[in-house]
């Protein structure tokens, strides 16, 4: 894939009308969207922060691959196997659930019905929070680097890491299984690397839960492999969750630590049309006096190092493959990816499966179209982090479901309205998902957001789980 998916007219008409630019967005030549949100950093209250969201081609390609996978009987069987392996033995016995090994002759409808019944019972699966293994701040996580993935707003024209602050609301106070396992909030900066950050956040949470370790994984290498090797797009940030997880599984990808190749937020990067690509990717100060101090950098999406030679008067250049140079020092990866849902129609069952997964202590990667309501999320008060639900909140165009750009984040818990703290506005729906984002601690409740189940039904494009590989 080169940044533009191959789509027919029927797919486009069915999944997303034509995009129109809005005052606080800018559509790049490669189709991605630069989007401004109010970061609400106490030291710079009037500043906006910018992030690159994925354009329509990436959104639709992700929808199509997920929709196709969920139509396969093997996927329905994988969903059932995923939950069966984690369900309480008492529930399995009480419901007389069949062992997955006995489903060889079952039909698609039979297995889908089993999954629907599991979704209906999501409330029965809530586990108690595990012990807290999270380091006191990002600097003390295993493998923490220079803080390129943990920046606040650019201060005085320079990249400055944030000082860790605890969220004020549900992320810190609610009783959900992953509460002590979730890693510290990251910041993807100006690059469209949300898919790499959402997937890496899931891996970090699983390492916390299953290995009792607080780690900082290398998003830079994962995104490099995504855009250099697995679905090449040197001139366009992007990625699809399911195919990335599948590539991690089939290639045996193992993460290095963050400090092996520090993340580059590229805060001063600008997109260029001729030649197509980027400029200023390697600046860490606005006047270009400080360069990115990491292993490799280049004005491409994957930022691989470039080597050139001259033969017979002609210049030849190639990019290095950091996957060969940066070993997977942590030994951890992800395997056995399973899509739980896709946002192309009625998806209440898909969202209920996500509730069941987080109640069982398993993070759920979510892709979604970013609505206008995510620009101005309260950072204090009883409703800190709450993203309002408005079914027509499509950045000013109620038919335009890709204008806001696509993004990826992580669902780590679900809290019902009856269990909300005093003073917090009840969700329109049954409760709030706890969403860990990658826009830094200046956004939302120190980087977390609380989105209702109806919000997820409305804006979700895909839901995915994977297992920890060691």
pLDDT at position 154, please? 54
Pairing outcome for strands 277-279 and 448-452 = unpaired
Give the tens place of pLDDT for each residue, 287-303: 777 888 888 898 889 99
Number of structural domains found in the chain: 1
Q: Is 376 or 469 the better-scoring residue by pLDDT?
A: 469
pLDDT for 454 beyond 60: yes
- Inside any domain, residue 7: no
- Inside any domain, residue 78: no
- Inside any domain, residue 132: yes
Between CA 345 and CA 414 the distance in angstroms is 22
Mean pLDDT estimate for the chain: 85
- Inside any domain, residue 432: yes
- Inside any domain, residue 122: no
> What is the residue range of 384's domain?
21-66+127-266+326-469
- Inside any domain, residue 16: no
- Inside any domain, residue 233: yes
Give the tens place of pLDDT for each residue, 71-109: 999 999 999 999 999 999 999 999 999 999 999 999 999
Give this prediction's pTM: 0.91
The CATH number assigned to the domain holding 46 equals 3.90.70.10
- Of the listed ranges 65-74, 193-202, 271-280, 359-368, the least confidently predicted one is 271-280
Q: Is 3 or 328 the better-scoring residue by pLDDT?
A: 328
Average pLDDT over every residue of 12-20: 34
- Inside any domain, residue 159: yes
Report which of 219, 222, 224, 290 is spatially closest to residue 258, judged by C-alpha positions: 219
């Amino acid at each position: 894939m080169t940044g533009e998916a191959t789509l027919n007219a029927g797919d486009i008409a069915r999944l997303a009308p034509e995009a129109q630019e809005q005052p606080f967005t800018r559509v790049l030549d490669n189709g991605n969207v630069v989007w401004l949100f109010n970061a609400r950093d106490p030291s710079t209250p009037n500043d906006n922060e910018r992030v690159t969201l994925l354009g329509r081609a990436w959104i639709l390609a992700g929808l199509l691959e997920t929709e196709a996978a969920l139509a396969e009987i093997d996927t329905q069987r994988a969903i059932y196997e995923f939950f069966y392996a984690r369900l309480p033995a008492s529930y399995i016995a009480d419901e007389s659930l069949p062992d997955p090994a006995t489903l060889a002759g079952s039909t698609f409808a039979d297995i889908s019905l089993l999954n629907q019944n599991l979704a209906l019972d999501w409330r029965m699966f809530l586990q108690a929070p595990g012990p807290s293994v999270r380091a006191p701040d990002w600097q003390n996580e295993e493998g923490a680097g220079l803080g390129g993935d943990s920046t606040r707003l650019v201060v005085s024209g320079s990249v400055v890491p944030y000082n860790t602050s605890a969220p004020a609301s549900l992320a810190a106070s609610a009783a959900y299984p992953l509460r002590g396992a979730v890693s510290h909030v990251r910041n993807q900066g100006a690059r469209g690397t949300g898919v790499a950050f959402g997937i890496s956040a899931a891996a970090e949470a699983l390492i916390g839960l299953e290995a009792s370790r607080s780690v900082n994984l290398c998003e830079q290498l994962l995104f490099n492999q995504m855009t250099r090797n697995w679905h090449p797009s040197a001139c366009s940030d992007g990625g699809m969750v399911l195919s990335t997880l599948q590539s991690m599984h089939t290639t045996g990808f193992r993460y290095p630590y963050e400090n092996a190749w520090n993340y580059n937020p590229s805060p001063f990067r600008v997109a260029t049309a001729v030649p197509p690509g980027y400029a200023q990717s390697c600046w860490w100060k606005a006047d270009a006096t400080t360069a990115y101090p990491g292993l490799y950098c280049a004005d491409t999406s994957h930022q691989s190092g470039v080597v050139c030679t001259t033969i017979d008067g002609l210049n030849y250049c190639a990019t290095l493959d950091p996957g060969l140079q940066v070993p997977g020092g942590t030994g951890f990866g992800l395997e056995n990816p399973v899509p739980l849902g896709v946002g192309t129609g009625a998806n209440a069952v898909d969202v209920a499966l996500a509730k069941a997964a987080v109640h069982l202590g398993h993070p759920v990667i979510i892709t979604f179209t970013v609505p206008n309501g995510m620009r101005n999320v309260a950072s204090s008060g009883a409703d800190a982090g709450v993203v309002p639900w408005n079914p027509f909140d499509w950045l000013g165009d109620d038919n335009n479901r890709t204008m806001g750009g696509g993004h990826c984040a992580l669902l780590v818990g679900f809290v019902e309205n009856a269990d909300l703290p005093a003073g917090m506005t009840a969700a329109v729906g049954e409760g709030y998902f706890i969403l860990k984002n990658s826009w830094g601690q200046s956004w939302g409740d120190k980087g977390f957001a609380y989105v209702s189940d109806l919000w997820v039904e409305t804006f979700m494009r895909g839901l995915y789980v994977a297992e920890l590989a060691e």
